[in-house]
Amino acid sequence: MPGIDGISLIRSIRSARSREPRTPILLLTALGSLSAAAAAGRAGVTDCFPLDADGINAMVVRARELVSSDDPPIPSALLGSSPSVVAARDRILCVAQLNTPVLITGEKGLGHGEVAAYLYALGHLAGMAFHRISSSGQLEASSRNGAAMWYLEDVSDFSQEAQGSWYQRLLESRHGSAPNRSRFVASTSEDLRIIANQGRFSPDLARELCQFEVWLPPLRERRDDFPELIQSALKGVGERIGRPGVGIAAKAIDHLSACAWWENFVELETVLESLAAFTPGLEITAQQAELVLLDSDPKARAARERARCERAQLLTLFEECGGNYTRMAERLNVDRGTIRYRLRKYGILPSSVAPNDT
């Protein structure tokens, strides 16, 4: 082919930027060799180098089975076209069919577990057991046999004993027979290299996991992806709470996109749940988004709590001083005008009522 060879074309098709990265690719060549086959396999070819007509027919049948199978839905953490999320999606596709351990990193609330499940669904162990291990990190003796996918959730929180056990389990699986060979995927919001250097994590396990790392970018670095992310998340939220089909206005999306979302998808989905639940119509408006954001914003909540406490203190003082501005001003070490302003600000004294200042 002019300007590009077959291996480069395969890599381009398998790239996360491709419209159909999982399209089956059959490679036929008159210059086949074992090294060329290995290179094609690493690039992502589905099958290659048939020796006869029967081989070609079998290869086509396998490819048709792949096309007819349903692809797993892409999790929200991997949706979009931002360079950082494209890179994450590309790395997932690259390692999906391998048997290497994979470490999913990034801030909390990004859906590490959903990405691990997606990786499992894409991989060669799909249909085998999927074990999700969290908190204690303890391995059940009854589950040690047979091929499986082991997802070590928040592995940085595992005890030192559990870390050592999983490192040994990983080594055993690597050198075991194919039918019993398992795969290990872990997630963390901490840098395992750093905490290993600090003595808080097993250096051996960190070394094994960090070889194949997939970093998930936080939402605040993915502004351009928000229309797609919000539509996807809203669909799931609507179905979950019984409001399927609820939509959202473009200006409402703009309001949501402007937020920092420090808790990532956890915070975003909480806000979308409120919007979907309390929206009277079939579309979330910009005004409704503003009101819910104001109610959910931590700074706004803190300001309301301070105002509530100040009003309660002022009301108590008003009663103790019998409504006398002068006494109240002396107690708070402010002038009488400030007292008058605060009383009316908090609705303790209507503007038409004069205080008892005698």
pLDDT of residue 325: 87
- pLDDT of 174: 80
Question: pLDDT of 306-339, one tens digit each?
Answer: 777 888 888 889 889 988 888 888 988 888 888 8
pLDDT at 30: 59
**Residue 133 bridge partners (DSSP):** 152
Task: For the domain made up of 76-215, give the CATH fold.
Answer: Rossmann fold (3.40.50)
The pLDDT value recorded for residue 61 is 62
Where are the chain's structural domains? 6-68, 76-215, 219-296, 305-345
Rounded to whole angstroms, how far apart are CA atoms 283 and 132? Answer: 37
> Are the CB atoms for 59 and 26 separated by under 8 Å?
yes
pLDDT of residue 352: 45
Confidence (pLDDT) at 142: 41
E strand or H helix at 184, and its extent? strand 183-188
What token pair was written down for 157? Answer: 């929180």
Q: What is the CATH number of domain 305-345?
A: 1.10.10
> What's the token pair of residue 125?
């162990």
- Counting as low any pLDDT under 70, the low residues of the chain are 1, 3, 14-24, 27-70, 136-146, 176-180, 295-305, 349-358
Regarding the domain delimited by 219-296, which CATH topology (the fold level of the hierarchy) does it fall under?
Helicase, Ruva Protein; domain 3 (1.10.8)
How many Cα neighbours within 13 Å face the side chain of 355?
Answer: 23
What's the pLDDT at 139?
60
User: By three-state DSSP, how is residue 345 classified?
Assistant: helix
